[in-house]
Amino acid sequence: MVSRALDVLLLGPPGAGKGTQAKRIAAAFEVLHISTGDMLRDEVAKGSGLGQEAKEYMNRGDLVPDALVGKMLTKLLHSRRGALGCVYDGYPRTTAQEALLEDLLAELNRRVDVALYLDVPDRELLARITGRRSCPSCGAVYHVATQPPRTEGVCDACGTTLVQRDDDKAAVVRERLKVYRKHTAPLLKLYEDRGILREVDGAVNPDEVFKRLREAMGSIGK
C-alpha cells in the first residue's frame, strides 16, 4: 500500500474531550497533534516573526487573523511528523477556516480524510466545565466531582487556593456553547455532504470514546 498522509479533524464543543482524544489519535496513528491555541503560544514563546505578529493581536485582545494562523499551519504541515499527517484539535471552527485548511492541504496533494465529531449533550458539557477548578499559580486543573484535589479548594501540587476561571462559569459556558453551535453547524453539514463526517458519542468514558473513534475511522488511514 502506498503510504500517504492522514488528515483527521476532531471537532466538538468546548468540554467534549477533544484534547485528550486528539493526543491518543496522534500517538496511535503517528501523526502530528495540532491545537491552534498551543501552536500560537509556541510561536509567541519562540519569538518567531509569526509569533511576534500574532502577539500584537493577542495583546490588543483581538483574534489572530486566519491568514496568519494559516502560515503557522503551513510550517507544521511541512514538518517531519506533520508530513505524515495531522489530527486537528478543534480546528477549523468556521467555514472560512475550513476553506483555508483545504487550500493548504491541496498544495500538498492532501485533503481532510475524515471529520470526527464528539457529540456531548449541553447538560453534560456544563457539568464538566463548571466543575473545573484551576490553580492560578501552577496551572493545574481539577474537577470538583471527577478529579478533586486531596484538600478541597487547594492545589495538590503547590498549595495555592483554587479558583473557577471566568470562562468556566455557567453563564459564560452557555454563551460559548451557543456561539460554537452556530459556527459549526454549517461546517458539519459540509462534511456530511462530502460523506466524511463521523459522529461519535463523547459522553461515555475516555477509553470507550477512543475505541469508538477508531472504529469510526474504520478503513480510513493505516
Binding site for Zn ion (CB under 5 A): 135, 137-138, 140, 155, 157-158, 160
Residue closer to Zn ion (CB basis): 117 or 142: 142
Q: How far is the CB of 162 from Zn ion (least distance, A)?
A: 8
168 in Cβ contact with 125 (< 8 Å): no
Catalytic residue list contains 176 = yes
Question: What is the C-alpha to C-alpha distance for residues 6 and 86, in angstroms, rounded to an integer?
Answer: 6
Rounded to the nearest angstrom, the gap between the alpha carbon of residue 50 and the centroid of all alpha carbons in its chain is 21
Q: How far is the CB of 18 from Zn ion (least distance, A)?
A: 24
d(CA 5, CA 110): 7
* Residue 217 CA to its chain's centroid (Å): 18
The CB-of-135 to Zn ion minimum distance in angstroms stands at: 3
To which H or E segment does residue 111 belong?
Answer: none
At closest approach, how far in Å is the CB of 1 from Zn ion? 48
189 annotated active-site: no
> Which residue in 71, 93, 174, 214 is the catalytic one?
93
Whichever of 43 and 168 has its CB closer to Zn ion, that residue is: 168
**Residues 154-163, buried b or exposed e (16+ Cβ, 10 A)?**
ebeeeeeebe
Given the residues 165, 189, 194, 211, select the one marked as catalytic: 165
Measure the CA dihedral 192/198/201/206, to 10°. Answer: -140
Cell of 1: 500500500
**Residue 150 a catalytic site member:** no
CB of 65 or CB of 136, closer to Zn ion? 136
- Of 95 and 160, the one with the shorter C-beta distance to Zn ion is 160
Tell whether the torsion through CA atoms of 137, 139, 145 and 151 is positive or negative: negative
Strands (E) in 31-84, as ranges, are 32-34
Smallest separation (angstroms) from Zn ion to the CB of 20? 20
Rounded CA separation 111/94 (Å): 17
Catalytic, out of 18, 133, 198, 212: 18
Q: Indicate the residue among 137 and 147 with the shorter CB distance to Zn ion.
A: 137
Concerning whether 165 is annotated as a catalytic residue, the answer is yes
- Please indicate whether residue 80 is annotated as part of the active site: no
DSSP letters spanning 98-109: HHHHHHHHHTTT
Active site residues: 18, 93, 132, 165, 176
